[in-house]
Each structure stands twice: as structure tokens, then as C-alpha cells.
Amino acid sequence: MNGSCVFKFSLFVRLFVIILQVIFNRCVPDHNADAFRLPYEKGVGVSNTIVSYFLEGFSRWDAQYFLHISLYGYTHENTLAFFPFFPMLLRNSSKILSVIFPFSLSPLNCALLSGVLLNSILASLSTVALYKLTKRVFQSEIFAFTSALLFCINPASIFFSALYSESFFSLLTFSSLWALERGWFFIGLCGLGYQIYCYLLFCTSVVPEKELPEIVANFLVRNDLKVPSEPSKWCFWNIPLSYSYVQARYWDVGFLHYFSIKQIPNFVLAAPVIIIILLSCVKYFIKHRRELWHLGLIENKVYDTSDVYSNTKCFPYFIHMFLATVFCILFIHIQVVTRMLCSSSPILYWVAAAALLPANDRARFKLLKEHSQKNWLFDSLLFIKKIFLKSSIQGKIIFCYFVAYFLIGTFLHVNFFPWT
């Protein structure tokens, strides 16, 4: 078992998601969702038809915003809710693709194709980062390998292939945590820099407005969207932060704002991941009541790495996951919870791996010895089958949840149903 094996397995899963997306998107008509759709000129020719036919299911919901920003920039206030790094990657990868493959793809389809390829690579690198992080924390090859395989088929898998920032976000998260575990410290100021850019663009004349294609300019006028030349009220706040204003103004994000009768189905969809995480956090905190008094700030130099609930090195991870889950429930759109929690912490995969693997070290070592790397795909699938059959009832339930949402989530998202 090594990083190369989990990287290749992740690429295989991304290919499988593409195939599922094509099947689901072509067999079922799209739901007429009340969602943003970017303005664009439809590409003509065989190559554009092929890309649209096979990949357009990856351009649903927020992907429309990321595509819009990568093609036209921050043209109106709504777009400020989406951070710039992923659209920048998307724009530059599209330029590279257009040079390497000089076929006549429209800018939109070129961005769509490059985005799917980009996220396939980023998701696979995220899998390797999680594998290395887990191995560092638990000093266990089989635990790291199992966690990485579970990440490949996580309940929010569709968002790691679609044109969303989850793959990039999880890569930065897992690799940064791995670096911290190795004692490497750094400071990130990207979010602050972006807020300054938003202020300069929408509240001053420092950043000149871009000249937009006619189809985009007409779209902005037709939909009465607020453009940079029209300063908004957040520009005059003592601390002029656009993000909180835009989220509240255009998506009604706020404390308990999503608690309504009509949102019950979305709460039901999000319930499994919330229940798994909160129960595992409570179980961990009960076992480590002493650490709660100092929030793990006093280092414990004796680590029991045999189990996720015994390992005191996991304390800050559980604290972070618990607070993030509570924040998601109370403040954000509930249908976003699954993808946010699946990309922002390794805890879900560690808990799932602990439930699937035998508790006995000897049984784990036997599984490890039985695993061969001669055929990475067949052996990985056989390994998953073995741990599922030998797992506890709890492990089987969690694994079935992963697989079910892997399929259901893909079906819902690519057909514009509320799985955003």
C-alpha cells in the first residue's frame, strides 16, 4: 500500500463518476430549478457537441458561478460569494488545454472540460494528502489506506468531480494539516486579500471595470444585477466585508434562517452525516473529559494510536469538526452541509475506517498481509469487500450510507435537483 495506489484508485473513481453522470443526465430530464445560469454563446461543431453531451451535468448549481467568474470575472455583486482561486485555476487550465488540444471548443466547453480534468487530479492529490496525514497521526498503514479509499467514495463525491472548489479545498486542508503534524507552520492571508480586492472593485474606481461581451452586458441589464459601478451599502460599513453581506442579501444566510417546514427534506438528506459526526464527537469527548478542560492545549506526549477514540492527537480535529457541524446546522443552507463536512476534515473518514476495520491489531495485520499491490484496482476492490464483510453492524451501515449517497448525490446533482 502506498500513495501511488490510492492516487490511481481515486482517478478510477473519478472516471466512474463521469460515466454515472452521463447515464443519469441523459436518462432523466433536468429539473427546472430556479438557479443562476450564466450567459454564453453556444459553441458549434462536433467537438462542442461531444463535450456538452458528456460533461454538462458537471456544470450545475454553483458550478455556473465558477464558470462565469473564470470566463468574465466578477461582473456583479452576487459573484462575490465565490472565492477567486478555483476560478483562476479554471481559467489558466483552460488556456493550457486550448494550446495542447487546438480543436475548436467554445470558451465555455473548454472551461468545462479542463475543469473536470483539473478536479479529477486535485481530488486524487487530496486522497494522497489524506493518506499521508492519517499515516502520520495513527502510524498505521492499513488505517491510512482504508481512510483514503473511503474518501474516494465519500457521500459528497459528485462535488469532487463537478466544477466546484471542494477538491481544491480538501487538498489544501489535508496537506496543510499534514504539514502541521510535521511541525511546519505558515500563515495564510488569501481570504483577507480577496476582501480588499472586492472593496477596491465595488467601492472605489481603483480597479477599472472590464469590457464585457455584449451577451454578458445585456444579461446584467436584463436581470437588474448590481455591477461594480454601483456602490453597495456594505461599502460604507466600518469594516466593509462583502462576503457576509452578499450571503445574507442574495442567499438569506443567517442564524436559523433555514429552519422552515419546506426545508425538512433537505434536513433529512443532511441528517446522516450530522448524526455520524455528532455521535462520534460525543463519544470522543466522553472518553477525553480531562482534555476538555484545557481544549487540548496542554500537550500529551503519550499517544494511543490504536483507535481514533483513544488517540489524543485527534482532539483538535474533533473540536474543529464539532464546531463546524454546529455552525453548519445553525447558520448555512442545510443542503451544503454534507459537501462542506466531507471536504473540511478527516474525522468522518477516520470514524468510518475505525467502524469498518477490526479492532484487533492482529486481525488488521492479517488484512494488511493479504493485500497485494500486483493489481491495484482489483486488490483495492477486494480489500473493500473484505473489510465490509468483516465489519461491525455500525461499519456496514456507514459504508452503505457512503455508497448510497455516492449514487443518489450524483443522480440529484447532475439533474439540477436540490443537491448543491
Q: Which of 111, 104, 101 lies closest to 45 in space, CA to CA?
A: 104
d(CA 270, CA 341): 10
Q: What is the pLDDT of residue 113?
A: 96
User: In degrees to the nearest 10, what's the CA dihedral of 155, 156, 158, 160?
Assistant: -130
pLDDT at 80 over 70: yes
Per-residue pLDDT, averaged over 87-105, amounts to 89
pLDDT value, residue 192? 86
Is residue 142's pLDDT more than 80? Answer: yes
pLDDT, one tens digit per residue, over 384-404 is 999 999 999 999 999 999 999
pLDDT at 294 over 90: no
- The answer to which of 110-124, 182-196, 296-310, 370-384 has the lowest mean pLDDT is 296-310
Q: What pLDDT is recorded for position 230?
A: 83
On the CB side of 390, CA atoms within 13 Å amount to 16
The three-point CA angle 86-244-210 to 5° equals: 50
Please tell me the distance from the alpha carbon of residue 198 to that of residue 203, in angstroms, as a whole number. Answer: 8
Is the pLDDT score of 304 beyond 80? no
Averaged over 262-280, what is the pLDDT? 95
- Per-residue model confidence (pLDDT) at position 306: 74
Is residue 369 scored above 80 in pLDDT? no
Would you say residue 102 has pLDDT above 90?
no
- Distance CA(329)–CA(266), nearest Å, equals 11
Q: Report which secondary-structure segment, H or E, holds 218.
A: helix 214-222
Task: State the average pLDDT over residues 331-338.
Answer: 93
Give the whole-angstrom CA distance, residue 255 versus residue 252.
10
- Res 373 pLDDT > 70: no
pLDDT digits 0-9 by tens, 9-62: 999 999 999 999 999 999 999 999 889 999 998 888 899 999 999 999 999 999
Residues 6+ away with beta carbon under 8 Å from 254: 248, 331
Please say if the pLDDT value at position 368 is more than 60.
yes
pLDDT at position 187, please? 64
pLDDT value for 360: 78
Q: Quick check: 224 pLDDT over 60?
A: yes
Residue 217: exposure state from Cβ atoms within 10 A (0-12, 13-18, ≥19): middle
Q: pLDDT digits over 177-213, tens only?
A: 999 999 887 666 566 888 899 999 999 888 887 889 9
Tell me: pLDDT of 318 over 60.
yes
Out of 89-93, 245-249, 294-298, 350-354, which region has the weakest mean confidence (pLDDT)? Answer: 294-298
31 secondary structure, DSSP code: P
